[in-house]
Chain A
Amino acid sequence: MNIIFYLAAAVAIVATLLVVTRLNAVHALLYLIVSLLAVAVVFYTLGAPFVAALEVIIYAGAIMVLFVFVIMMLNLGPQATETERGWAEPELWFGPALLCGVLLGEVIYLILRMPTGTTLARVGTPEQVGVALYGPYLLGVELASLLLLAGLVGAYHLGRRAPHEEPGGGV
């Protein structure tokens, strides 16, 4: 299991790096999907199959499809890639890279200071996750669903047509 964990973690990191460096938006999104799938494998090896499945269904399967959908609608051609090339100048990404480097250093420092051998061994079956969500974390679930409801109402309001407008056809 350890080898699979490190392999999946390595894939996740490489894929995420490629997300940042790709010039073509759709290719970058594809690498992001690969990264999410790799994170799902990491969850699975850590003993949380339910979370792994949700990661694939919700993040890779639903949210990323919408991202790809939007990018497709924008119909970015080769000229968009050219613009991106202009943005990829070294002086532009030097600042963010420096800040990320500081964060990376902190993470490495913390990992090195942690006592070794404390791998997560508890198994997160669907039942356990459900009991935890609707037991001690009920308030969090309710707050999240309120937030989602607010988002839904907001999206409906923005997408609503004024009454005098002609209703158009779908795609």
Chain B
Amino acid sequence: MLELLRQALIIIGVLAVPFLIASGLTWGERRLLALFQDRYGPNRVGPGGVLQVAADMFKILMKEDWTPPFADRPVFVLAPAIIIIATLSSFAVLTFAPGIAVADLNIGLLFFLAMSSMAVYSVVLAGWASNNKYALLGSLRAVGQMLSYEVFMGLSLMGVVIQAGSFSLGTITRAQQHLWFCVPQVVGFVVFTIAGLAETRRIPFDLPEAESELVAGYHTEYSGLKFAMFFLGEYVGITLIAALVTALFLGGWWGPVLPPLVWFLLKTLVVIAFFILVRAALPRLRFDQLMEFGWKLMLPLSLLNLLVTGAVVLWQEGLRF
């Protein structure tokens, strides 16, 4: 009974905490961006402006949720739900601390990759169902970008999988007790972080929603709660990528003094802050630059990393016998 209650609590926590972090980020990102750009940001509502989150949520819930008459209604409604489901369900395979995981599957990493490829549909279908040329152009860009970056996102993780000998995120984190994987797998770490930024469509990879050319890209026609789901979906995605970077490369829960769960949370928040710093520092790429960067630099780099990692691991195995 107690075990069941514990499981239920973990499941509720894993569902609620990413949501809380994501909604907190809608305020935190603006404050941090303002800090980097030497201005104040939203600081009026509540202490330090933290109640801005509640004010924004209230505003967006009060707005009219308008479905354009020319849209394909069922698909239009389905699209924002997909992104939330796909990103939130990936949290299920993460191990946050020893014993704190919903389902530490032996194919955990593959499950994450599968869910991130499902998230592409959200953007594709939103653009198509809107029946709007800007939305369609945005989702065409998104498909090209996300499909290309998914390829080496998976490949960049294989080095970690070879070293840890498992697809399970718990086992991978446990293998980093003495040395975080960001040291031996530094190439995989950098490639995965870049691919993660592209998968969540953040600056410098936010071409699918480039305001200056495409209005708002694939979610041009969305308003009210459905727009809020896209907005929140993006932040949940960022939280997910940050949590994965933590679990795969930054030693997960390992750390001195503080309890494991706190370490995991702290590292995740630092990675998120880094993503926001990237947004403040870099301009948006052009689409051909984005594709060239992906296929001509990142893909060969991750293949090379895979080759070298495999060779070194085989060599070490040979030494042991």
Contact = CB atoms under 8 A, between A and B. Distances in A.
A72 B136 contact: yes
Contacts of B124: 65, 68-69, 72
Interface residues of B, number: 33
Contacts of A72: 124, 127-128, 136, 139-140
Interface in B105-162: 105-107, 110-111, 113-114, 117-118, 120-121, 124-125, 127-128, 136-137, 139-141, 143-144, 147, 150, 154
Contact of A62 (B106, B117, B136, B144): B117
Contact of A56 (B114, B143, B144): B114
Contacts of A73: 140
B89 to A, nearest CB: 12
A50 B118 CA distance: 17
Interface in A127-171: 169-171
A26 interface: yes
A60 B291 CA distance: 23
Contacts, number: 79
A27 interface: yes
Interface in B5-64: none
Given A72-B124, A72-B128, A170-B287, A65 B75 contact: no
Interface string A10-32: 00000000000000101100100
A26 B125 CA distance: 9
Nearest to A71: B128
Interface in B267-282: none
B104 interface: no
Contacts of B107: 49-50, 52-53, 126
A169 B288 contact: yes
14 contacts: A24-B72, A26-B125, A30-B125, A49-B105, A52-B107, A57-B113, A57-B117, A60-B118, A65-B117, A65-B147, A68-B121, A68-B128, A72-B140, A171-B140
Q: Which 4 A-B pairs have the closest CB atoms?
A: A61-B117, A53-B110, A56-B114, A49-B107
